Structure 1
Amino acid sequence: MFTRRCTTCERRQLVFPSQLAGISTTAHGVEVSYRCWCGDVQSFETAHVDQVMPRVAA
């Protein structure tokens, strides 16, 4: 579950796993598509893991 602001209805709402429409890996990170409560399909791209969490030597 996560929150997103819909570009169609302009509301910030909780998005549940049942609303996911697709997940794909890109060169820049992971693209997540979901269906908003208003019915519109939205998507966003997360940061690449290396950009979020720096690698730590063991």
Structure 2
Amino acid sequence: MSEGQWWFCLKHMRVEPDQGCPNKDRMGPYESEQEAAGALERAAARNKAWDEAEEDQD
């Protein structure tokens, strides 16, 4: 396993190491390449949970 931080690039829709696109275009950092690869799925799940929590408050 490689050392360093990993990012998910929103511009290119791929995992990148520290040396990549500007951070403004990326999600992260993550401790592993696998964790970065799941960034969009985790964000979607969190957004869904927040939306459902807001609906419950209404």
- TM-score above 0.5, yes or no: no
Q: TM-score range by the shorter chain?
A: under 0.3
Higher relative contact order (CA 8 A, sep 6+): 2
TM-score scaled by length of structure 1: 0.21
TM-score scaled by length of structure 2: 0.21
